[in-house]
Amino acid sequence: MELLDTLAEFAQSCRSRRLDKEVMHHAKRAVIDWYAALMPGAVVAPATLLEMALAEDLDRGGAHLALGRRATMRTAALINGTAAHAVEFDDIFKFGIYHPGAPTISAALAAAQQQNSSGEQFLRAVIAGYEISTRIGAAMGRAHYKYWHNTGTIGVFGSTPAVGLLLGLPRDQLTHAMATVTTFTAGLQQAFRMDSMSKPLHAGRAAEAGVLAALAAREGVIGSLDVIDGEAGFGVAMGDGPDWNKAVSTLGSVWHICMMTFKNHGCCGHTFASIDAALALQEKMRLKPADIKHVRVATYKAALDVADIREPRTAAEAKFSTAYVVANALVHGSVRLNAFDDERLQDPTTRSLMRKTDLVIDPELDATFPNQRAARVTIETNDGRKETFYQPNRKGDPELPLSDRDVDDKFIELAGPVIGSADAKAFVAKLWALEGIGDLAFTRSPTGRA
């Protein structure tokens, strides 16, 4: 019972505590990166299908979808949360094996729009959600990740305190909201080991669950206060009994929001080190795809558990095919949104290179997961050359971060085709000034026209 009380106390403190400029800066980076993933995800399935399915909750309410359509708070959180995870470009907290932005920011923005909150209030809520959820994710560790999709299960601990702060819940109600939402945790890894739209729905449901739990708590709904750390609670039932005291020991002193991974490739994050290593080796050896006789990718076990679809037929499957994304990178030079167009999926050069690619688990690299996501790629050429490249971290990890300019460029690249390049540049400029903006009216229509 002390755990939930500790988390609620910290969340409450985020309303007014002094936050370093660096923490606020990284919160803005997270919001910009979230929008970069949201915009292209908002115009593809399953987000577009949810708009049809939930039409009765649209064109009314105080929250808004990505492109400005009005929605109820819960529905905005659900659809935006789904959209933000749909194209696999959203952020990662690697120590928690978790994408915090899609559930946390989607729910926080819906509540902030509903409540007419300021930019600073919104950012503070986002920070609270990130700090709490990432610690729960890190504590649950590999044992939880064996079967569960953390963005669905852990994401509720990001959305709930964020919404609770913006709704103005007192500490006891915020505690009960987090107790209630613990029973809503869901999301199975098996749901995305074949062609499926379920994975982004996990993020959307986690965002929606936080809104529901906070609204219910405001009206007096109570939860079991030992539901996380009790003898049959979340930590035991879905993990191996985490050390919760250790999990919260740095809460408020070490800021996890400053340790985000921002994706540089539009696919499963477990493939990134392999892609980075392959591209580095290709440049070093000055190779064309036709020069390559064999590729060997050695990485950690979880990468191959999740991303080893050997013959992907669809874009959804290809994003979880290490062989495909590595071959695509070697053939086309990158793995961006167009990597999963039908023409690219059937590219005979890429398919031929996939057949020359072997994937293996490296025990040494596996022992460092999840703190490190590394890969060793070996390429053998037709003329007898053979070299190996070790990639200890992924580009975009805290150890090898995207610059602010990189984050800007990513946003403009991904949002520009949806809202127009000029509008994208104007919008991202406002986001960099978010903490000084008195209301979030501009977020209701990124183009300023809806």
Classified by CATH at the fold level, domain 2-263+402-444 comes out as 2-methylcitrate dehydratase PrpD (1.10.4100)
Distance of CA 438 to the CA centre of its chain: 27
Q: If phi over 0 gives left and psi between -120 and 50 gives alpha, with beta otherwise, what is residue 220?
A: left
Q: What strands lie across the sheet with 375-381, from one edge to the other?
A: 357-361, 292-299, 375-381, 386-391
Positions of E strands within 313-384 = 357-361, 375-381
Q: Which CATH architecture has domain 269-391?
A: 2-Layer Sandwich (3.30)
Name the nearest CA neighbour of 82 among 26, 137, 43: 43
How is residue 235 written in tokens? 């930590």
How is residue 299 written in tokens? 């990485």
How is residue 319 written in tokens? 């994003």
Give the span between the Cα atoms of 421 and 447, in whole angstroms: 10
Q: Is the peptide bond before 46 cis (omega within 30 degrees of 0)?
A: yes
Give the span between the Cα atoms of 286 and 381, in whole angstroms: 11
How is residue 305 written in tokens? 């558990």
Q: What is the DSSP letter of 401?
A: P
C-beta of residue 220 within 8 angstroms of C-beta of residue 93 = no
Give the span between the Cα atoms of 116 and 110, in whole angstroms: 10
Give the span between the Cα atoms of 178 and 155, in whole angstroms: 12
How is residue 252 written in tokens? 């408020």
Residues pairing with 321 in the sheet: 308
* Residue 448: predicted pLDDT: 63
Give the span between the Cα atoms of 58 and 73, in whole angstroms: 10
Give the span between the Cα atoms of 208 and 78, in whole angstroms: 5
Give the span between the Cα atoms of 6 and 229, in whole angstroms: 12
Q: What is the DSSP letter of 240?
A: S
Give the span between the Cα atoms of 105 and 119, in whole angstroms: 13
Give the span between the Cα atoms of 114 and 119, in whole angstroms: 13
Cβ-in-10-Å burial (0-12, 13-18, 19+) of 403 comes to exposed
C-beta of residue 404 within 8 angstroms of C-beta of residue 29 = yes
Amino acid (one-letter) located at 442: F
Amino acid (one-letter) located at 6: T
Half-sphere exposure of 100 (CA within 13 A, CB side): 35
Q: Is the peptide bond before 370 cis (omega within 30 degrees of 0)?
A: yes
* Range list of H helices, 154-293: 156-167, 171-182, 198-218, 234-237, 244-247, 272-285
Amino acid (one-letter) located at 404: D
Strands 375-381, 292-299: pairing kind: antiparallel
How is residue 335 written in tokens? 């793995």
* Residue 450: predicted pLDDT: 54
Q: If phi over 0 gives left and psi between -120 and 50 gives alpha, with beta otherwise, what is residue 254?
A: beta
* Residue 48: predicted pLDDT: 98
Q: What angle do CA 14, 140, 214 make, to 5 degrees?
A: 40
C-beta of residue 313 within 8 angstroms of C-beta of residue 336 = no
Per-residue pLDDT of the chain (450 residues; tens, 9 = 90+): 689 999 999 999 999 999 999 999 999 999 999 999 999 999 999 999 999 999 999 999 999 999 999 999 999 999 999 999 999 999 999 999 999 999 999 999 999 999 999 999 999 999 999 999 999 999 999 999 999 999 999 999 999 999 999 999 999 999 999 999 999 999 999 999 889 999 999 999 999 999 999 999 999 999 999 999 999 999 999 999 999 999 999 999 999 999 999 999 999 999 999 999 999 999 999 999 999 999 999 999 999 999 999 999 999 999 999 999 999 999 999 999 999 999 999 999 999 999 999 999 999 999 999 999 999 999 999 999 999 999 999 999 999 999 999 999 999 999 999 999 999 999 999 999 999 999 999 999 887 665
Q: Domain residue spans in the chain?
A: 2-263+402-444, 269-391
Residues pairing with 13 in the sheet: none
Largest CA distance in the chain: 73
Distances (CA, A) of 361 to 167, 255, 393: 47, 32, 17
Write phi, then psi, for 321 (nearest 5 degrees): -120, 100
C-beta of residue 319 within 8 angstroms of C-beta of residue 325 = yes
Decide: helix, strand or coil at residue 93: strand
